[in-house]
């Protein structure tokens, strides 16, 4: 869609407000709004000014002025605004140089796609993510000098099987048995269908939705794959729609990877493939119907996985999911069908067009623009350097003997370890100026200062149960 088409749509839909959304550094959508009369074709070049120093991980106060330029190809009518509101995703520019801002995550994703084309390896990288989430009825948490707690509740929570609900009707999925039950055990069929209807109204192509493994309302809605930046745009819209639809019904949604102790966490298995013109480049006559290029791409992902997860599993909570068991792919291996491997080759369809690889460590707390870009750059490094992924592992990794398991490398066990891996291994990200040293340094410093270090100093409720009577 061109700027003139946006203006025409605005008039046809009776829009009164323009809302511009953009990504902060850690991975949350931000926005601001202007009356629709403030939108003209010139704004698609000149943008709108705002204070960049107030955005997490961005400019310091002495260089705070920034521009956001709406991308007309992202236009929708916001489905949650009472006043008709036109919504677009924006790109961030420096107001002096008019260059794209190097810390804008969407800019990094677009540079990754440009680098792919520059290499001549492929024209497009397609990504498709399976982002899981929880729907809760109540969430309370606090952290003070003298106390700390969190409390989660859900009508589906197995822990409520004995609660007096006047009446309690049962139908609360057992721990780790929430996968695919029909209603009434699946209490959220209608809510998910409403989410899907709104997503499709906003232009997303939805393939399926269902209850996930955990009790207490774990869900999954699958978006059809698209190019890297478009899939990241779609994932942010997906999260926005899930959260706001739940809020309409007095419920809340979280994409936190591990909110419930003792049950499955929420992952974001990410399918990837490269294409040149109409040709799928990952289909071939090697293992699991893969091409040699696909195996080299896997080799790059496996080699750089400890650094990749600094972006793809970017919270301290992520590593409460990435532990053995709970279908968590902590061991760095690849396999067809085997879901205990970090990389799986889906075997649902024999069509070459369906041939892809699935990288399983990411979770939905990530900034998708950065996470997808890091995965693509790792895969391209594998192709460019013809990295051997080693032998596939078709056994259940969790059934291996300790001797066999020692031969399989594993992911970092904490966010701090993944940040250390990124510090040591990020040259592959700098190719084509996709990531910059400033972006890498800022990411590491931000995560250490705002997330890792503050956790060190805080006692937890479980520590009291372990140590109070010492």
- Active-site annotation, residues: 51, 130, 132, 212, 220, 269, 339, 358, 360
Phi-psi region of 124 (alpha: psi -120 to 50; beta: other; left: phi over 0): beta
Contact (Cβ atoms closer than 8 angstroms) between residue 212 and residue 176: no
Give 290's strand partners: 283
Distance of CA 53 to the CA centre of its chain: 25
Distance of CA 90 to the CA centre of its chain: 19
In this structure, the number of other CB atoms found within 10 A of the CB of residue 115 comes to 18
Phi, psi (degrees; rounded to nearest 5) at 302: -65, -40
Nearest Cα neighbor of 368 from 268, 282, 257, 254 is 268
CA distances from 139 to 132, 159, 312, 338, 362 (A): 18, 15, 25, 35, 24
Contact (Cβ atoms closer than 8 angstroms) between residue 36 and residue 15: yes
Return the SS3 of 300: helix
CA distances from 60 to 32, 106, 355 (A): 20, 20, 45
In this structure, the number of other CB atoms found within 10 A of the CB of residue 437 comes to 10
* Torsion 255-79-4-126 (CA) sign: positive
In angstroms, rounded to a whole number, what is the distance separating the alpha carbons of residues 153 and 155?
7
9-19 residues labelled b (16+ CB within 10 A) or e (exposed): bbeeeebebbb
234 CB burial (10 A radius; 0-12, 13-18, 19+): buried
Phi, psi (degrees; rounded to nearest 5) at 403: -65, -45
């Amino acid at each position: 869609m061109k700027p003139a088409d946006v203006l025409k749509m605005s008039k046809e839909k009776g829009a009164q407000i323009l809302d511009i959304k953009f990504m902060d550094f850690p991975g949350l959508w931000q926005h601001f709004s202007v009356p629709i009369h403030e939108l003209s074709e010139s704004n698609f070049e000149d943008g709108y000014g705002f204070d960049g120093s107030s955005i997490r991980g961005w400019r310091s106060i002495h260089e705070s002025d920034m521009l956001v330029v709406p991308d007309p190809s992202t236009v929708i009518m916001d489905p949650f605004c009472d006043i008709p509101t036109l919504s677009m995703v924006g790109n961030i520019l420096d107001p002096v140089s008019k260059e794209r801002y190097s810390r804008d995550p969407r800019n990094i994703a677009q540079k990754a796609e440009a680098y792919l084309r520059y290499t001549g390896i492929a024209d497009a990288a397609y990504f498709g993510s399976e982002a899981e989430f929880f729907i809760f009825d109540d969430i309370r948490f606090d952290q003070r000098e003298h106390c700390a707690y969190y409390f989660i509740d859900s009508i589906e929570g197995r822990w409520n099987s004995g609660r007096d609900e006047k009446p309690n009707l049962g139908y609360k999925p057992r721990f780790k048995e929430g996968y695919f039950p029909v209603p009434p055990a699946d209490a959220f069929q209608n809510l998910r269908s409403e989410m899907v209807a709104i997503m499709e109204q906003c232009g997303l192509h939805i393939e399926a939705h269902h209850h996930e493994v955990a009790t207490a309302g774990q869900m999954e809605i699958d978006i059809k794959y698209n190019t890297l930046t478009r899939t990241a745009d779609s994932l942010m819209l997906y999260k926005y729609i899930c959260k706001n639809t739940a809020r309409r019904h007095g419920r809340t949604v979280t994409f936190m990877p591990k909110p419930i102790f003792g049950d499955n966490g929420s992952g974001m298995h990410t399918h990837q493939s490269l294409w040149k013109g109409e040709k799928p480049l990952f289909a071939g006559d090697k293992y699991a119907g893969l091409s040699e290029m696909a195996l080299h791409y896997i080799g790059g992902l496996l080699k750089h996985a400890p650094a990749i997860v600094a972006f793809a599993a970017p919270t301290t909570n992520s590593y409460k999911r990435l532990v053995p068991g709970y279908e968590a792919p902590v061991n760095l291996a690849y396999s067809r069908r085997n879901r205990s491997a970090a990389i799986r080759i889906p075997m649902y369809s024999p069509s070459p067009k369906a041939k892809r690889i699935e990288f399983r460590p990411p979770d939905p707390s990530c900034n998708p623009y950065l996470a997808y870009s890091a995965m693509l750059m790792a895969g391209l490094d594998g192709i460019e350097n013809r990295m051997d992924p080693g032998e596939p592992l078709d056994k259940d990794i969790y059934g291996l003997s300790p001797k066999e398991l020692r031969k399989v490398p594993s992911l970092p066990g904490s966010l701090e370890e993944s940040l250390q891996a990124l510090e040591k291994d990020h040259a592959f990200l700098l190719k084509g100026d996709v990531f910059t040293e400033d972006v890498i340094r800022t990411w590491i410093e931000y995560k250490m200062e705002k997330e890792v270090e503050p956790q060190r100093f805080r006692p937890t409720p479980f520590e009291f149960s372990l140590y109070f009577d010492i």
